[in-house]
Amino acid sequence: MSAISVSLSDDARPARTAVDVIGRPLGSGIRLQKAGLLFTAKPDINTWEKIGADLLSFSNASTWWIADWLVYGETTYQDRYKEAVKHTALSYQTLRNYTWVARRFPLSRRVPALSFSHHLEVVSLDQPQQDYWLRQAAKQQWSRNRLRTEVRNGLLTQQGEPHLLHLRLSADDLADLERVAGRERTEVETWARKMLLLAAAED
């Protein structure tokens, strides 16, 4: 089970949650609102860059938080969990991806310098390969797409020509799959492979 921890400030008060910071200023003339970021004054370039870095860091962390929340609910509440997640704004497939990655990467094995998406790219590999590619991505500062390319090339080098699985799909079925893969910003072949491995893992 993935651990969920709450950081405490020096005076032992709980850290602010996402709800706490909505509507609060990020800096002079900048306010975070539920539906967007409001600039009421022009920040200098350094301030603007720092805000972007903070927001990107928060975005990545929040994906892990949601994933761990889902794993905990699935483990603890079981049938009631299924009803609760219906009220989220995320698709069922996205929720499944979140829980898959969170279960495969316990807190101790996650690489804070990399995004959730980096971990998703290697989730179908065995553990030593996962750790190797994540270390390389962190060291080389690869983007998610660069990591995907490097992993694909590395596997082809190790295994020679890949084994091929031929599927017969109608044009409509293929269009549906491409539409779903597009929502997750990945190629249909990569998405289909992950879905097959996920289904096998749940068997």
Q: What is the pTM of this model?
A: 0.61
Q: Taking 60 as the threshold, does the pLDDT of residue 4 lie above it?
A: no
Share of the chain above pLDDT 70, in %: 80
What's the pLDDT tens digit per position in 172-187?
A: 888 888 888 888 777 7
Place of tokens 């603007």: 48
pLDDT band at 85 (very low <50, low <70, confident <90, very high): confident
pLDDT score, position 173: 81
Mean per-residue pLDDT over the chain, rounded: 78
How far apart CA 114 and CA 117 sit, in angstroms, is 8
What's the pLDDT tens digit per position in 117-171?
A: 999 999 999 899 999 999 999 999 999 999 998 998 887 766 555 566 777 778 7
Q: Taking 80 as the threshold, does the pLDDT of residue 202 lie above it?
A: no
